[in-house]
Amino acid sequence: MKTKFIFVTGGVLSSLGKGLAAASIGALLQARGLKVTMQKLDPYINVDPGTMNPFQHGEVYVTDDGAETDLDLGHYERYLNVSMSQRNNFTSGSIYNSVITKERRGDYLGGTVQVIPHITDEIKSVILGVAQNDEDVALIEIGGTVGDIESLPFLEAIRQLRSNLGKDNVLYIHLTLVPYMRAAGELKTKPTQHSVKELRSIGIQPDIILCRSEVDLNADIKSKIALFCNVDEDAVFTARDVQSIYEVPLALYEEGVDQKIAILLRLPAKNAVLPQWKDLVDKLRHPKDEVRIAIVGKYVDLRESYKSLHEALIHGGVCHKSAVSLEYINSEEITEQNVAQKLAGIHGVLVPGGFGTRGVEGKITAIRYAREQNVPFFGICLGMQCAVIEFGRNVLELERANSQEFDPTTPNPVIYLMAEWYDHRSQCVQKRDMNCAKGGTMRLGAYPCLIKPGTMAHAAYQVESVEERHRHRYEFNAAYAQAFEQAGMLLSGVSPDNALVEIVELTGHPWFVGCQFHPEFKSRPLAPHPLFCDFIGASLAFKNKG
């Protein structure tokens, strides 16, 4: 079957949930037996989100091949349980950069380079390039909101593709807001009408309208929207608010969204098989226990900064049929005097990744509390490095033990910038030349890790070799390895050449694990990551021990 393309646009306002809606539709089509891929096209000029402030854009998601991408790719991977790559996320910056490079190289033979056709042709090229593995359906999410000037080249490109590929191979889905005015007790359709009018003014007539609302749309409202927006009455669907984001596929299935898509695109007539999703939602709705986890970080004012982490912890709770209550604590506010108060009633402490010195001392203080009070602890990336620093200072009593990132003159750089680290990782040169050149000393993407038997890490994974995703520059300084292990901090995960430390853990502690990689990027609701399962399990044991 020729690949069918579904384009998802959004109107009225941002953060309506295009990514979740697109991922949920992908999951439904996958449940119908179709092979699905997804792509996010972002209108901002940055080449990728790698240098963007988490407070502005949220988390930077990392794929196996080392691409720094939009956080929506995390939704795609979690809902479809497939691995994305660089070709699944493009920005205006990357598109323009490619066109300008071609122009400088002479590819256009001296012609005048313009938005149409050169930019739009480049966009169409990357869209068509996403379906390289004979996928049945490719879902393409257009970032931003209809009416934004930045989105126009992308919208023009997808308009052209319907003519290029034919109506039976291209479908437009538009997500809008239908607000409920509580004072009047009414749903208002005017924002949706204006949004669709804006979309139609640039030549795109939506085939399906998803109406984000806090209440269900009745038949009269749907009929009104259909009339004013020129769509079939059975093509207007409620995308209602739900308790958990993992209820969205079931909610859209109940509305009949996948059935309408199948009819419009002439897809095989198969019903979606959703027992795993129903079982997942049942566990989330009816937990048998609850655990409180503190996330001690510095980006806590924008929860999107820790999106994958948040979801991975929820997945860990699913392993034990437990609800997970997340307490976000600003590490800048933690001191030795108030740490016990800040972490009172907490059953597990997690310190996530990050860059820069701000808030680091608060993280170290929280880690010392977790170590000394036997509270389950999970350190990720910088969180692992802070655990090493804390242990070096307070157990090994190393003078000014620190990371070179925070104190370049420290006499004890237990965390250091390994110059020419890729010389120790020949596969970086062999497999990821672009990432070596792009990231300099940054380690990006998936790398293998060997796990020592008889450790907490091995008890979680149940295997001796895994691949996990990285995004960092600094590493554990192997010169201190023997001293740390003799004092009780076991190096339980290392690179195959034994040059890089991937996992540390404390002997004699109920559960104290730090990992240099980002396990949250590989956790799925239907396949939770083993480290998060074990962390939540240890936190429940701590709680119930009382």
In this prediction, residue 54 carries a pLDDT of 67
Taking phi over 0 as left and psi of -120 to 50 as alpha, with beta for the rest, 208 belongs to beta
In this prediction, residue 419 carries a pLDDT of 59
In this prediction, residue 29 carries a pLDDT of 98
The answer to whether residue 430 sits within a structural domain is no
Stated pTM of the model: 0.92
Positions of the chain with pLDDT lower than 70, given as ranges: 1, 53-57, 302-303, 419-441, 546
Residues 343 and 321 in one domain: yes
| Element spanning 8, H or E | strand 4-10
The answer to whether residue 230 sits within a structural domain is yes
Instruction: Label residue 132 exposed, middle or buried (CB < 10 Å: 0-12, 13-18, 19+).
Output: exposed
Residues 167 and 315 in one domain: no
In this prediction, residue 370 carries a pLDDT of 98
Number of structural domains found in the chain: 2
The answer to whether the beta carbons of residues 258 and 32 sit under 8 Å apart is yes
The answer to whether residue 12 sits within a structural domain is yes
In this prediction, residue 354 carries a pLDDT of 85
Nearest-5° Cα angle at 327, 457 to 378:
15
The two beta strands, 186-187 and 4-10, are: unpaired
Residues 251 and 142 in one domain: yes
DSSP 498: S
In this prediction, residue 441 carries a pLDDT of 64
User: Residue 131 is part of which domain span?
Assistant: 4-280
> Which residues on adjacent β-strands are paired with residue 153?
none
Query: Which CATH number do you get for residue 499?
Result: 3.40.50.880
The answer to whether residue 405 sits within a structural domain is yes
Residues 402 and 499 in one domain: yes
In this prediction, residue 427 carries a pLDDT of 45
**Positions marked active-site:** 381, 518, 520
Nearest-5° Cα angle at 97, 94 to 98:
85
The answer to whether residue 457 sits within a structural domain is no
Query: Which CATH number do you get for residue 63?
Result: 3.40.50.300
Residues 222 and 198 in one domain: yes
The answer to whether the beta carbons of residues 40 and 69 sit under 8 Å apart is yes
Residues 269 and 360 in one domain: no
Residues 304 and 243 in one domain: no
The residue assigned the tokens 């609302």 is 213
The answer to whether residue 272 sits within a structural domain is yes
Residues 180 and 101 in one domain: yes
The helix/strand/coil state of 240 is strand
Distance of alpha carbon 332 from alpha carbon 422, whole angstroms: 34
Residues 307 and 269 in one domain: no
| Element spanning 290, H or E | strand 289-297
Domain limit, last residue, from 223, 245, 280 = 280
The answer to whether the beta carbons of residues 472 and 516 sit under 8 Å apart is yes
Domain limit, last residue, from 280, 307, 325 = 280
Distance of alpha carbon 252 from alpha carbon 230, whole angstroms: 21
Residues 306 and 357 in one domain: yes
Q: Could you tell me what percentage of the chain is helix, strand and coil, using 3-state DSSP and rounding each to the nearest 5?
A: 45, 20, 35
In this prediction, residue 185 carries a pLDDT of 84
The answer to whether the beta carbons of residues 233 and 223 sit under 8 Å apart is yes
Residues 297 and 275 in one domain: no
Angle between helices 307-319 and 530-545 (to 10 degrees): 60
Distances in whole angstroms, Cα of residue 316 to Cα of each of 52, 74, 215, 276, 405: 29, 16, 30, 16, 31
The answer to whether the beta carbons of residues 89 and 71 sit under 8 Å apart is no
The answer to whether residue 486 sits within a structural domain is yes
Residues 250 and 194 in one domain: yes
Distance of alpha carbon 452 from alpha carbon 447, whole angstroms: 16
The helix/strand/coil state of 236 is strand
